[in-house]
Amino acid sequence: MERISVYIDGGNFYHLVVKKLGIKENDFDFDAFANLLIDGRTASESSKRFYKGTIREKEGDLHSKELMSKQTKLFTTLKKNGWDIKTSKLRTRIEELVVDTRVLEYKKLKKMGIEKIHTERMREKGIDVKIATDLLVGAFDNKYDTAIVVSSDSDLVPAIDWVRNRMKKKVEYIGFSIPDVSNPEKSTRPLMMMFSKTDVQRVFSDVEMKKFIQQPEKTLFST
């Protein structure tokens, strides 16, 4: 029997799918999606793995508290359904953007004497390393026959090459094609490099992914 392991890069998935669909992570049925990918085949030990940078609450910041609460809810739901959660810390980075034609209404900003804009962004560190490590260790310990990789991170290619060429394991790549109507240049597209580096490739459209959106739970009040 073909043993399957599913590896979902949560951060990558959020930007490529969840954000493009305009939904919240807790509204997406990751379990149903993973079961579709496994497609009746045998789930391996720790067959479903989810990787995500953890949100830290900032003192006095209600928004960060809300985000952390939502992430805790997501992790609780996944663990209840048998997912193995792998996390890393989100790092804060200050980025500098020069005010030029890339910035909306840049002429107005220029007239106000604003030449640069500084923004604070959160970046995941080490998630790709954790996914790559689990792919390698799982192959070496013979924990799976086929790894399903839900990530369009090219940094995973060396690990994929190794498990396929050295350990003779199969790798399936899951990509997405989701349009961004407001900004077509930011539409989600599959990583073409993965097509030549994997054994099976599947690309899901926005219509297909919308099938996994769960309806928010309704709270009933009694009087």
Q: What is the domain partition of the chain in residue ranges?
A: 3-52+82-90+124-210
Q: For the segment 172-197, what is each residue's pLDDT rounded down to a tens digit?
A: 999 999 999 888 889 999 999 999 99
Cα–Cα distance for residue pair 214/216, rounded to 1 Å: 6
Strands across the sheet containing 200-205 = 116-124, 84-98, 42-54, 3-9, 146-150, 170-177, 200-205
pTM: 0.82
Whole-number Cα distances in Å, 202 to 52, 106, 169, 172: 22, 41, 18, 8
Residue type, 113: G
Cα–Cα distance for residue pair 101/204, rounded to 1 Å: 34
In CATH, what number does 3-52+82-90+124-210 get? 3.40.50.1010
For every one of its 223 residues, what pLDDT tens digit does the chain have, with 9 covering 90 and above? Answer: 899 999 999 999 999 999 999 999 999 999 999 999 999 999 998 899 999 988 776 667 676 788 889 999 999 999 999 999 999 875 555 667 777 776 667 677 777 777 777 565 556 568 999 999 999 999 999 999 999 999 999 999 999 999 999 999 999 999 999 999 888 889 999 999 999 999 999 999 999 999 999 976 654 554 4
∠ CA(178), CA(201), CA(199), 5° rounding?
160
